[in-house]
């Protein structure tokens, strides 16, 4: 009769099962630091996607900041180079 909107059936036509998507979304959920800390199972898929976008953006921002700091460190100290080489040799 009436469609149950709890699971969106939009993607059934392309051959992807809803269960697959739910699995993938929950897998993604485990990677997000915020949601993982909250220990709540009742996070909607939209929230997971939203948090994912936020998380990716924050990671990009961290890469930017760390690049700047590294650039300053490389410029300022010669001992930095020795440390870097030491790290490289210890891998």
Partner 1 sequence: MAPEDPVAMNPAPTPSLRTKISRRFLESLVKIRASLEQPTGGNIQRRARRIKIAAYSSMACAAGSRRAWSRALLAKLRSRAKRRHHSQHQRCLGLKRKRAGSRNMAPYKVSRANELRRLVPGGKAMDLCNLLEETSHFIQCLAAQVKVMQTIVDRCSV
Question: Under the rule (CB under 8 A), what is the footprint of partner 1?
Answer: 8, 10-11, 14, 16, 20-21, 23-25, 27-28, 30-32, 36, 45-46, 49-50, 52-53, 55-57, 59-60, 62-64, 66-77, 79-81, 83-85, 87-88, 91
* 1 vs 3 by CB, closer to partner 1: 3
Helix or strand holding residue 81 (H, E): helix 79-90
* 1 vs 19 by CB, closer to partner 1: 19
- Smallest gap from Cβ 35 to partner 1, in A, equals 11
* 1 vs 88 by CB, closer to partner 1: 88
**In the numeric block, which tokens belong to residue 19?**
């269960």
15 with 1: CB under 8 angstroms? no
Report how far residue 7's alpha carbon sits from residue 22's, in angstroms, rounded to the nearest whole number.
9
The dihedrals phi and psi of 77, each to the nearest 5 degrees, come to -125, 145
* 1 vs 30 by CB, closer to partner 1: 30
Report how far residue 55's alpha carbon sits from residue 43's, in angstroms, rounded to the nearest whole number.
16
């Amino acid at each position: 009769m009436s469609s149950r909107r709890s699971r969106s059936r939009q993607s059934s036509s392309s051959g992807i099962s809803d269960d697959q998507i739910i699995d993938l979304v929950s897998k993604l959920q485990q990677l997000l630091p915020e949601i993982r800390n909250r220990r709540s199972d009742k996070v909607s898929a939209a929230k997971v996607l939203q948090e994912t976008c936020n998380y990716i953006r924050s990671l990009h921002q961290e890469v930017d900041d760390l690049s700047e700091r590294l650039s300053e460190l490389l410029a300022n100290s010669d001992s930095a180079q020795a440390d870097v080489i030491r790290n490289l040799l210890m891998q």
